[in-house]
């Protein structure tokens, strides 16, 4: 399957982007490439939440049960966390990953910080189920590996720090099924919301590598405006 899209740049001053896609569709992987190539700020809601869980903050204690069970964290908690994160990078171009994922979150975000580009990753479910089985992450940084796709240099260790890698509680098969169902019922309305506004671009494929050239060109075109 080949990535297809046309990406027309919007006449906007700053890059205010969102990357959408089902669990394990490659949002984090694509975001890392965008950050590396275009030097923009990246805010991953899942990485921020897992960081709070790891350091044992009040927020981390509050959200751990939701994340481990594959349930959405309440909208108000998410909106205030992400709004704070956005405020800290308002002088830069930024990309949100994992937020918004309910219509309430999307509408609130659009009022606070209007989004002008949404990259929508569409990857078949069978591919996603294969990926989560082989995913390993470095919890403190959010760096992500996949056995056979982007292996760590030393098995089980993070490339940068040498610290141990772990598997996510919510990558257990039964939890992944629930996350995929929630995506279909609660996040597909967000896809429709952005499509109606006219800022959404679809990228379809089985691998990140085949989708990447079209995504890269789209971001470059948007940034050059
Ligand atoms: P997250 O962390 O936002 P998800 O479910 O949206 O979780 P996830 O699982 O982080 O998304 P991803 O970022 O889309 O997936 O994908 P990825 O990590 O880049 O890639 C998946 C794997 O595939 C990796 O191992 C990668 O190396 C590999 N891979 C990538 N491309 C390829 C390829 O081409 N080939 C192969 N073979 N492998 C590849 O949210 C987690 C939880 O936090 C809460 C919820 O509880 C949520 O479940 N949460 C929120 N709750 C409410 N509202 C919000 N806005 C929330 N945000 C987070
Ligand atoms: Mg991710």
> Residue 83: its pLDDT value, please?
97
Q: For residue 98, report the distance from its CA to the centre of ligand 1, in Å.
A: 8
Q: Which listed ligand is nearest to 24 at the C-alpha?
A: 1
Pairwise CA distance, residues 168 & 170, whole Å: 5
Q: Mark whether 143 is an active-site residue.
A: no
The pLDDT mean for the chain works out to 93
Q: How far is CA 23 from CA 26, 87, 182, in A?
A: 8, 26, 10
Residue 67 tokens, joined: 């994340």
Residue 3 tokens, joined: 């990535």
> Residue 6: its pLDDT value, please?
54
Please choose, from the candidates 17, 14, 10, the residue with its C-alpha nearest in 3D space to the C-alpha of residue 120: 17
DSSP letter for 164, please.
Answer: B
Pairwise CA distance, residues 86 & 7, whole Å: 25
Q: What is the DSSP string of 125-136?
A: HHHHHHHHHTEE
44 phi-psi bin (left φ>0, alpha ψ -120 to 50, beta other): beta
68-91: per-residue pLDDT in tens? 999 999 999 999 999 999 999 999
Q: For residue 23, report the distance from its CA to the centre of ligand 1, in Å.
A: 5
Per-residue pLDDT, averaged over 205-220, amounts to: 97
Catalytic residue among 16, 50, 179, 201: 179
Pairwise CA distance, residues 178 & 168, whole Å: 15
Residue 2 — pLDDT band, cuts 50, 70, 90?
very low
Q: Which listed ligand is nearest to 171 at the C-alpha?
A: 1
> Residue 140: its pLDDT value, please?
87
According to DSSP, the β-strands at 16-21 and 200-204 are unpaired
Q: Look up the CATH superfamily of 16-219.
A: P-loop containing nucleotide triphosphate hydrolases (3.40.50.300)
Per-residue pLDDT, averaged over 3-15, amounts to: 59
> Residue 155: its pLDDT value, please?
95
Residue 142 — pLDDT band, cuts 50, 70, 90?
confident
List all residues 6 or more positions away from 192 whose beta carbon is below 8 Å from its beta carbon: none
Tell whether the model's pLDDT for residue 95 goes beyond 80.
yes
Q: For residue 98, report the distance from its CA to the centre of ligand 2, in Å.
A: 7
Q: Which ligand 1 atom sits nearest the alpha carbon of residue 32?
A: 19
Beta strands in the chain (DSSP E): 16-21, 41-44, 94-97, 117-122, 135-138, 143-146, 200-204
Domain boundaries, the chain: 16-219
Residue linked to tokens 């909106």: 79
Ligand 1, atom 46: closest residue by C-alpha: 67
96: β partners = 18, 43
Residue 94 tokens, joined: 């930024």
């Amino acid at each position: 399957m080949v990535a297809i899209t046309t990406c027309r740049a919007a006449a906007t001053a700053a890059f205010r982007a969102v990357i959408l896609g089902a669990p394990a569709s490659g949002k984090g992987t694509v975001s890392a490439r965008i950050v590396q190539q275009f030097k923009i700020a990246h805010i991953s809601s899942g990485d921020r939440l897992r960081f709070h869980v790891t350091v044992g903050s009040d927020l981390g204690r509050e959200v751990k049960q939701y994340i481990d069970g594959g349930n959405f964290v309440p909208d108000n908690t998410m909106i205030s966390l992400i709004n704070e994160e956005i405020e800290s990078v308002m002088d830069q171009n930024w990309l949100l990953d994992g937020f918004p994922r309910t219509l309430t979150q999307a509408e609130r975000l659009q009022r606070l910080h209007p989004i002008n580009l949404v990259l929508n990753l569409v990857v078949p479910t069978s591919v996603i189920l294969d990926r989560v089985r082989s995913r390993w992450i470095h919890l403190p940084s959010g760096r992500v590996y996949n056995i056979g796709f982007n292996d760590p240099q030393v098995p089980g260790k993070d490339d940068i720090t040498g610290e141990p890698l772990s598997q996510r509680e919510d990558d257990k098969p039964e939890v992944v099924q629930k996350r995929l169902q929630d995506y279909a019922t609660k996040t597909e309305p967000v896809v429709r919301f952005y499509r109606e506004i006219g800022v959404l671009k679809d990228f379809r494929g089985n691998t990140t590598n085949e989708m990447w050239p079209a995504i890269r060109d789209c971001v470059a075109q948007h940034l050059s405006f």
